[in-house]
Structure 1
Amino acid sequence: MSTIDKINTNSWFIIANPASGNKNFSKIWKKIEQLLKNKNLDYSFAFTQFSKHEIDLVQNAIKKGYRNIISVGGDGTLNNVVNGVMLQRYVKTSNITIGVLPLGTGNDWIKTYKQTNSIEKALEIISKKTTILQDIGVITTDKNTIYYNNVAGIGYDGYIVNKLKYLKKFGALSYLLAGIYGLIFYKKSAYKILINNKELKEKCLMVVCGICKYSGGGMQFTKDVNTTDGLLDITIAKNLNFLDLIINLPKLYSGAIVNHKKVNTYKTLKITVTPINAKPFIQADGELITSGKLQISIIPKAINFVIN
C-alpha cells in the first residue's frame, strides 16, 4: 500500500503559525482543536518554526498524500502555503484545496470572499468545502520566482508593508498608522512599465497588481476584479501628492480611488516594471520581496480555495 493510500482523501493537513497576529496562540489553538473535534474533521497538524517554514511543510504533506491544507495565520502564512503548493512537483496544483483560519493582523484575502475573522465561521465554511479555482500571480525577478494569491504592490504599497514591521503591536490600527506615515515620508519613484505592448515612463506613487480586492488592512486599489478570469488587475497611481492622498484617504478604503484622474487601471496577462534610479519596496500578499526589475504574470485557475 502506498503512502497516499494510507491517507483519507478527506483528511486535512493544518499548518499553523504561532506568531500570527497579536493574540494568545495557545489559547486559540485549544479552541481550534475543540471545534475540529466537534466538526468530526480528520486532520494532522504542524506548527511553523521559522520564516517560510510553511513551504517545506506543505511540500512534505503533499508528498505524503494530503490534498487538503488549512492555513492558520495571516496573509503571510497563506502566501507561504500557496508558494509551497506552487513549488511542489508531486501533483497538479489544481488538485490541492486550501482553507483558511484567519489569525493575522490584516486578513485581506478573506475580505474578497466576504468571510469574517471568526474561527467558528471559518471552520463551518471549511467543513462544507465549497471551493473556487482561483488564479495565482507569478512574480519573476532576476533572483527568484514568487507566487501570490491576493495583491502585489510596488512603491507606496510596499513601503507600508515595510513600516508594518515596527507597528504590528497596534493590531488592525497598524495599517492605518503605516499608511499615514507613508503619506508623509514616502518619496515617489520613476518606472518604465511595459503593459499590453505599450511602454510607459511614469513617476508613480505605486503600481498594484491585483487578483483579489483588498490589501493594506482593507484598502482597495483594484477595479472590477475577477479572481478566475485569468487576468491581472493593474492600477497605476501616478504623481499623487500629499494633499491628493489626504483628501482621498476614504477612497483608498472604498475603492473609489481608481476613479481619480491621476489613476489608471488596466487588465492584462502580464506586466514588466523596471525602476529608474531607485530601489522601491515590493510586497506580495504583505510579504516584502526583492527589489529591482520584475515581471508579473498569471496562472489561471491554479488552486482550489474554500470560500463562503
Structure 2
Amino acid sequence: MLSDYLIILNPAANDRKTKNNWKKVENILQDNDIKYTLKVTRKKNHAKEILNYYIRKWKKIKKFPKAIIIIGGDGTLNEVLSAIYVKQEEDRSIPDIPISILPFGKNNNFAKEHGIKRNNWKKEIVKLIKKPVVNDLSIGIFYENIKNQYGVFHNNIGIGLDANVVNLKSTIGNKSKFNKITKLISLIPLLYKIDSFESKIKIDNNKNYYFSKTIMCTVSQSNNNMNLIVIEKRNIIRLVYTLMLVIIGKHFKMRSIHKFTGNEISITIPSLEYGQVDGEQLGSRFYDIDYKITKYPFII
C-alpha cells in the first residue's frame, strides 16, 4: 500500500545533529497516525537514487504520495528537486510532488528565505498534517550543453571563486561585520594565486557581454528573475575590498562587479573552472550553460 508521505532523512546534516531530532518528529507522526515511508541517506547523491527508485515505482502503480518530507538541509533539498526534474525531462507525465522541508541542516538558506525556522519545526509538521497549504515557489533550473546535464538550484550556482565566497558567507551566517571581515582574511592566500578567465554572457537572448578577467560568476534566483553577479580581477587590495563589500552586502557600486537581471541567462566559459550548485561541487569543467526560472509546489 502506498504511504501518504515519503520522508527523506539525512542523518549527516548539521554535523550529524539531524539524526538526534528524528525521534521527536517520529513521535508526532505516530501520534497522528500518519502513514509514511522513511528512507535514510547514507552518502552523497543517495537522495537522488532513492527518488529515482520511487518515481519509477509510483509511475508503475499510477499513484503518487501527498508529499515528500525532507529532514535535512539545502544539499538534500537540491538532490530531491534535481531527481524529480531530471525524471520529468525524461517523462512529462510525472507530476510535481509537493515538498515539505524541516530545516535541520547547517545553513538552511532556502528555508530562511521563505520564513521556515528550525525552531518552528513542530509547527511545520502540524501544518503539513492538519492544514497543508501548497505554494508555488520559484526555483532555478539549468542545462549544461557540453555535458548534456540538467539540474536545479534553489539558492545559487557559481563558477570560479564563488565556491569559496559562498562557503564563507554560509559559515558566518548573520554574525557581525567584524567576524565577516575576519573570515575574509582566510581567503587572502587564495586571492594571490587565483587566475582569471574569459566569460561570455547573454541576457534574455538579446544582450551580450564579454569579460576577459573574470574570477567569479554567480547566478541566483529571486522574485521570478535570474540574477547574475560577475566579478573581475583587480589588484589584491581592490580584490579584497571588493569581496568584503560582497560579503557584507554592499557591492553593486564597484567597477569590478557587474550585476545583471533577466528571465534567462547564458554563460560560456572556454577554460576549465571549478563550480558549485547550492554548495555542492560541480567539479572542474568547461561551461556552456543556460539558466531560467520555473515554479515548484512547496508546503510551507
Normalised to the residue count of structure 2, the TM-score between the two structures is: 0.78
After TM superposition, give the deviation of residue 13 of structure 1 in Å: 0.8
Aligned mate of 2:157, from 152, 158, 182: 152
Q: Residue 61 of structure 1 aligns to a residue in which SS?
A: helix
After TM superposition, give the deviation of residue 125 of structure 1 in Å: 5.0
After TM superposition, give the deviation of residue 147 of structure 1 in Å: 2.3
User: Contact between 2:104 and 2:118, CA under 8 Å: does it hold in 1?
Assistant: yes
After TM superposition, give the deviation of residue 208 of structure 1 in Å: 0.8
Distance 1:248 1:190, change over 3 A: closer
Whole-angstrom distance in 2 between the partners of 1:103 and 1:204: 35
| Long gaps (5+) in structure 1 | 1-5, 212-224
Deviations 1:93-151 (A, max 9, x none): 66221111112222111122122222334434544334224233214152241322221
Distance 1:178 1:161, change over 3 A: farther
1:77-116 to 2 correspondences below 5 Å: 77-89=76-88, 95-116=96-117
Whole-angstrom distance in 2 between the partners of 1:243 and 1:121: 48
Q: Residue 58 of structure 1 aligns to a residue in which SS?
A: helix
Whole-angstrom distance in 2 between the partners of 1:47 and 1:262: 45
Is the counterpart of residue 235 in structure 1 residue 229 in structure 2?
A: yes
Partner residue in 1 for 2:186: 181
Partner residue in 2 for 1:140: 144
Letter in 1 for 2:254: H
Whole-angstrom distance in 2 between the partners of 1:159 and 1:141: 25
User: Contact between 1:21 and 1:171, CA under 8 Å: does it hold in 2?
Assistant: no
Share of identical aligned residues, percent?
22
After TM superposition, give the deviation of residue 33 of structure 1 in Å: 0.9
Q: Residue 143 of structure 1 aligns to a residue in which SS?
A: coil
1:21-100 to 2 correspondences below 5 Å: 21-38=14-31, 41-62=34-55, 63-64=57-58, 65-89=64-88, 95-100=96-101
Partner residue in 2 for 1:191: 198
Q: Between Structure 1 and Structure 2, which shows a larger proportion of strand residues?
A: 2
| Long gaps (5+) in structure 2 | 59-63
Q: Residue 13 of structure 2 aligns to a residue in which SS?
A: coil
Letter in 2 for 1:191: E
User: Contact between 2:184 and 2:244, CA under 8 Å: does it hold in 1?
Assistant: no
User: Contact between 1:105 and 1:172, CA under 8 Å: does it hold in 2?
Assistant: no
Whole-angstrom distance in 2 between the partners of 1:39 and 1:251: 49
Deviations 1:250-299 (A, max 9, x none): 643553323433222112312123144xx322010111103222313225
Q: Residue 280 of structure 1 aligns to a residue in which SS?
A: strand
User: Contact between 2:18 and 2:105, CA under 8 Å: does it hold in 1?
Assistant: no
After TM superposition, give the deviation of residue 84 of structure 1 in Å: 1.1
Whole-angstrom distance in 1 between the partners of 2:95 and 2:236: 44
Whole-angstrom distance in 2 between the partners of 1:34 and 1:241: 57
User: Contact between 2:18 and 2:72, CA under 8 Å: does it hold in 1?
Assistant: no
Question: Cα RMSD between the aligned structures?
Answer: 3.3
Deviations 1:51-70 (A, max 9, x none): 21111212333332225111
User: Contact between 1:116 and 1:122, CA under 8 Å: does it hold in 2?
Assistant: no
